[in-house]
Amino acid sequence: MKKLVFGLFLLLTTFNQASGQERPDASLNEMVKQHPKLKTIDDGVSFLAIGDFGRHGAFTQKEVARDMGAVAEQLDLNFTVSVGDNFYPTGVQSTQDYQWISSFESIYTHHLLHEPWYVALGNHDYEGNVQAQIDYSNVSRRWEMPARYFEKLIEVDKGVFLQLLVIDTNPFITKYQKESDKYLGINDQDHAKQIAWIHEKLGVKNEKIKWRIVVGHHPLYSGGKRKEYKDTQEIDQLLSPILAQYQVDAYITGHEHDLQIIKKPNTKVTQYLSGAGSELRETGTTTGTLFAESVPGFMVFTLTKNQLTAYVIQSNKTDFDVIYTHHINK
C-alpha cells in the first residue's frame, strides 16, 4: 500500500514537473511582488543555494521554501544548489523512502523550484543510503546527483560558461573514517581519486570558462560552532591550496546552521555558507568574515559575464528580506 501511495505521488509530481518545464514569459514578473533590493538581470543566470534542510517541514523549513519560491519568481531562477545534509537525521533508506515526499517534494513546490537541483552530500546523508540519493536522479526530473561528485558546465551568456563542481567532502574527514559504522561506506571512497579529479577538472584550459565555483558540504573556515574543529581545519588545509591554485571564484558550503560570507585576506576565493534551511545554531566571526547571522534563510546568486552578486535572504513569518549583498567583479 505504501508503495502504491508513493507511486501515485510521484506520478502527480512528475506531471507537475513536466507541465512546469516551460519557462514563464519574463514579462509576467511585472505581476510578482518585487523586492527592491533584488536586481534582475537581462543576460545571465540566477540560482539559489540551500543546505541543512530536510526535516519534514519542521523548524523553519516551510517558511524558507516559501521564500525560495518568491525569490525564484522575481529572478526567473535557472537552478538550485544544495550543499548537503538533505535529509535528517539519517539520510534516506531507498528511492521510495517517505522522506522524499515529507522533506522535499511536498515542501519545495513552486514551479521554478522544479528547475534542476544540483545536490551535494552531507554527513547526515552518509548515515543513510547514499546510493538511493544518486538513484533518485532517475526518478525525479529536478534532483541531479549523477554521482557522489560531478561537474556541470552552464552557459552564462553567449560563449561564456560557469564551471560548477559539486564535490563530496565527507571522505576527507578523519573523524568520519574512524566511525565507518555510522558513516556508511565512507571508507569505500577513494578520496585521492576525487582530489585528482578536482585537479583535472579545474586545470582544464578553456577560454570560454569565465567563472569557477565549487560546492561542498564542509566549510573551509567558519565563525560558528565548528570554528576550531579539526574537521574544518582538515578541509581548509586540503582544499584551500587547490582553490587558490586554479583561481576559483567561490566556494559554496553549509554544515554550519547559519549564513556566513567569508573572504580571507590575500585570497581570491569567497566562501558563501548557506546552511540555514531549517534548524539554526548560534554563529560568530573569524578572520575575513564579511557577514554572519543565525537566521532562517538561504542565498541567491545572479551571474553575468562580468559580475556575481550574492544576496542573503532572511525568512520571516509572512515574507522575506534581503539582509546583505556581496559582489565579485571580473
Q: What is the pTM of this model?
A: 0.91
Q: Could you report the per-residue pLDDT of 222-233, keeping only the tens digit for each?
A: 999 999 999 999
Whether the predicted pLDDT of 141 surpasses 80: yes
By the 8 A CB rule, do 37 and 322 touch? yes
For residue 108, give the C-alpha cell. Answer: 519545495
What the block records as the C-alpha cell of 240 is: 584551500
Q: What is the average per-residue pLDDT within 249-275?
A: 97
Q: Which fold has domain 31-329?
A: Purple Acid Phosphatase; chain A, domain 2 (3.60.21)
Pairing of strands 117-119, 143-144: parallel
Cβ atoms within 10 Å of 134's Cβ, excluding its own: 18
pLDDT at 10: 52
Question: From its phi and psi, is residue 239 left (phi > 0), alpha (psi between -120 and 50) or beta?
Answer: alpha
Beta bridge partners, 329, equal 307
- For 80-95, the pLDDT digits (tens) are 999 999 999 999 999 9
Name the DSSP letter for residue 33.
P
Q: How far is CA 47 from CA 79, 301, 315, in A?
A: 5, 5, 17
Confidence of residue 28 (pLDDT cuts 50, 70, 90): very low
- Are 12 and 44 within 8 A, CB to CB? no
Residue with grid cell 560552532, as numbered in its chain? 225
The string of pLDDT tens digits covering residues 177-236 is 999 999 999 999 999 999 999 999 999 999 999 999 999 999 999 999 999 999 999 999
**For 178-296, where are the E strands, in sequence order?**
209-215, 250-253, 259-262, 270-274, 289-293
Q: Per-residue DSSP letters for 159-196? A: TEEEEEEE---GGG-HHHHHTTTTSTTGGGS-HHHHHH
Confidence (pLDDT) at 319: 93
Model confidence band, residue 34 (pLDDT cutoffs 50, 70, 90):
confident
**Residue 17 identity:** Q
Where exactly are the structural domains of the chain?
A: 31-329
Phi-psi category of 219—alpha, beta or left, where left has phi over 0 and alpha has psi -120 to 50?
Answer: beta
